[in-house]
Amino acid sequence: MLPEAESYEALCSRFRWRVPARFNIGVAACDAWAEADPERIAIIQRLEDGDLVRYSFGALRHLTNKFANALSALGIERGDRAGILLPQMPEAAIAHLAVYKLGAVAIPLFTLFGPDALAFRLGDSKAKALIATPDGLEKVSEQRESLPALTDLISVGGAAPGAHTFADLLDRASDAFTPVDTAADDPAVVIYTSGTTGNPKGALHGHRVLLGHLPGVEMPQEMFPKPGDLFWTPADWAWIGGLLDALLPSLYHGVPILAYRFPKFDPERAFALMAEVGVRNAFMPPTALKMMRQVERPAERWALQMRSIGSGGETLGTGLLDWGRETFGLTINEFYGQTECNLIVSNCAGIMPVKPGSMGRPVPGHAVAVIDGEGNALPAGQPGVVAVRSPDPVMFLEYLNRPDATAEKFIGDWLVTGDTAQMDEDGYLWFVGRDDDIISSGGYRIGPGEVEDSLTTHPAVAMAAAVGVPDELRGERVKAFVVLNPGYSGDDATVTAIQNHVKTRLAAHEYPRDVEFVPALPLTATGKIKRRELRDHGASACHNKEY
């Protein structure tokens, strides 16, 4: 979508959106290439034994048509929601594309979510079907009574009680399917995003969201695609970074994507994997890069072929950028966005200077400004809130079931990100901080409200607050301040019990790595937790359990 240009200014002047009235993600990211070049490779799956399995676009259309027919036979119709709880594997891509072609709405779900996190998202979205591994289905088994809309379970990779088997459904289905004719604004996917209070909100996106992402993928990936490109990310495809920064843009452009996610990220194995498969392009969260930086002499040990690396979620410093140039022979391009309006600011070393510490400049096609509380654009050097003017193809349609929260997200025509920054005289944006209390840990955005809700379901906890405290590797880590119920002591055993409770019920990446017991929480006159006060106190001595 981005034109050839020798400078950022030329790129912006030549860019024009091309968003048709009728658009379907499944057709654009699968069927279009299956028609034009059916033998073209779409997905390369790396098995645990090291073997590579390649899926062509022709095979992908065959499988997605079958699965769309199977879902239709189960009663999944246009507009219905389907949860997809799968790791990086071809079946995850097949499920997404089939749901889009059916005109239904995909609900990506992270495999590390616990029963409570899954039950909320499935219930809030009123999902009618859940596609998951047997382990994933077992997590929701005890919650079925609270999910009356969930009528069909589909098991991938083996049989599960009360579930259809993915392979059996495909065997019985026809591969002749006519995709539903969807408008670009028709709902396609709900991605849940963490808030500062209460449960996560479901950001509902239309089919146009894929087109809206393309410039913001192409720019940090140095005018992606180029001949010979091959994409990989260690980020799970359930996150917007894995799904819409990597998987779907690669398929849209006819670029093979590598399907493999480590159960636990291993930096040495990541280098070996990229060299082995010939990865050329990657989206790497900052935490992954920091871990890879600790590996000795990677450029000598592996024949890396990288052409571009993009990273987002945390500011990259001069040291990490210098390491990237030494290791990969390229400049890692930082970018910025959020679930509701992603990939709106980026660097691109090939056409503009990269200023260490800056998020970059607005991606062509997006009107980005730093504004005050009244919606007025602020001059260079003055901090304010990062905002994006609507309408914009990458912008969400609404928060599912939350018209109040949707309205609060806007000041006039400006979508307000909640992040404070300032813009310099050259148009580069510099992150200052967050107006809210979102915890940014290891590339994940964690809402304190959901962590606090999980903490207070433990019998030892009377009250709790969760904040982010500095962490050298993750950027921030979750710290919990806990007021105990009578009869419980603040010893190591209680710390461990509370941590395991959150880890298993909510999510492994959201549990508090630090727990401090306090007699009371600081509250405002209206009863709200003073999290800023707790963050300031966060460096004090505390119980610290690492697992």
DSSP string computed for 177-189 = ------BTTSEEE
CA–CA distance, 267 with 252 (Å, rounded to integer)? 29
What spatial distance separates the first Cα and last Cα of the chain, rounded to whole Å?
44
Range list for CATH 3.30.300.30 in the chain? 440-544
* Average of per-residue pLDDT across 296-316: 93
Contacts (Cβ under 8 Å, ≥6 apart) of 475? 286, 287, 313, 314, 440, 441, 442
CA 438-516-530 angle, to 5 degrees, is 45
Does the pLDDT value for residue 539 go beyond 70?
no
Range list for CATH 3.40.50.12780 in the chain? 21-207
Structure confidence by residue, pLDDT tens digits, 53-94:
999 999 999 999 999 999 999 999 999 999 999 999 999 999
**Both tokens of residue 280?**
């050329």
**Both tokens of residue 70?**
């199977």
Of 152-166, 298-312, 336-350, 532-546, least confident by mean pLDDT is 532-546
Percent of the chain topping pLDDT 70? 96
Topology classification of domain 21-207? Rossmann fold (3.40.50)
Does the pLDDT value for residue 11 go beyond 70?
yes
96 band by pLDDT with thresholds 50, 70 and 90: very high
| More confident position, 139 or 542 | 139
Q: Do 423 and 380 meet the contact criterion of CB atoms below 8 Å apart?
A: yes
| More confident position, 11 or 356 | 11
**Both tokens of residue 129?**
């079907």
440-544: CATH number? 3.30.300.30
The pLDDT, as a whole number, for residue 528 is: 61
| More confident position, 531 or 349 | 349
* Average of per-residue pLDDT across 485-499: 95
The pLDDT, as a whole number, for residue 527 is: 55
CA–CA distance, 499 with 416 (Å, rounded to integer)? 34
pTM of the model: 0.86
Q: Which residues pair with 414 in a beta bridge?
A: 389, 411
Structure confidence by residue, pLDDT tens digits, 219-273:
999 999 999 999 999 999 999 999 999 999 999 999 999 999 888 889 999 999 9
CA–CA distance, 200 with 124 (Å, rounded to integer)? 10
- Give the relative orientation of helices 286-293 and 267-277 as an angle to the nearest 10 degrees: 100
Percent of the chain topping pLDDT 90? 81
Number of Cβ within 10 Å of residue 138's Cβ equals 13
CA 471-474-475 angle, to 5 degrees, is 60
The pLDDT, as a whole number, for residue 195 is: 61
The pLDDT, as a whole number, for residue 546 is: 32
Number of Cβ within 10 Å of residue 56's Cβ equals 18
The pLDDT, as a whole number, for residue 436 is: 64
536 band by pLDDT with thresholds 50, 70 and 90: confident
Does the pLDDT value for residue 327 go beyond 80?
yes
The pLDDT, as a whole number, for residue 543 is: 41
Task: Convert 477-506 into a string of H (helix), E (strand) and C (coil).
Answer: EEEEEEEECCCCCCCHHHHHHHHHHHHHHC
Q: Which residue has the tokens 């990458």?
A: 394
* Average of per-residue pLDDT across 31-40: 98
Does the pLDDT value for residue 545 go beyond 50?
no
